[in-house]
Amino acid sequence: MVETNNLIIEEEGAKPLHHVDVPFERATFGMGCFWGIDSLFGATQGILRTRVGYSGGTTSNPVYKDLGDHTEVIEIHYDPKRISYSQLLELFWNNHEYGLCTKIKRQYASLIIYHTEEQKKIAEQSLELERENRAPEEITTEILPCDIFYPAEE
């Protein structure tokens, strides 16, 4: 057994399943319960890894039973040479109910958290396009700057 970049490889000379040294960018989305979206993004080509957790609020150290004003989110590390931020946003818009839970529960809000000004611009353009395409549906998706990501407890 060999350990390389925190990956354990069973056979000497075997290669890791994923490219661990690929430069990546981050994307963070709130799309309802984070377990379903973890499966969606985890199975998408160009996604290097995902983590679920909480973000978008002001409460310190949220946990599942006490989220405060945070939202369940997924943080995605992706290879921008294989999948674009715009393509991730297409998955975002097409795979959750972005107008249902947000008025009732902050926990499952529709949320785009941007990590760069370029992501903010692309997210705002995609929101405007969704509003045009889905009118008269109400879209309650928020776009917020990246702050602290709190990983979900095991």
Instruction: Label each residue of 13-58 as H, E or C.
Output: CCCCCCCCCCCCEEEEEEECCHHHHHHHHHCCCCEEEEEEEEECCC
Q: Are 147 and 70 in contact (CB under 8 A)?
A: no
Backbone phi and psi for residue 77, each to the nearest 5 degrees, phi listed first: -105, 120
Peptide bond into 145 cis (omega under 30): no
Q: Are 10 and 1 in contact (CB under 8 A)?
A: yes
Tokens of 154: 């095991």
Active-site hit among 33, 69, 118, 153: 33
Residue 33 a catalytic site member: yes
Residues tagged active-site: 33
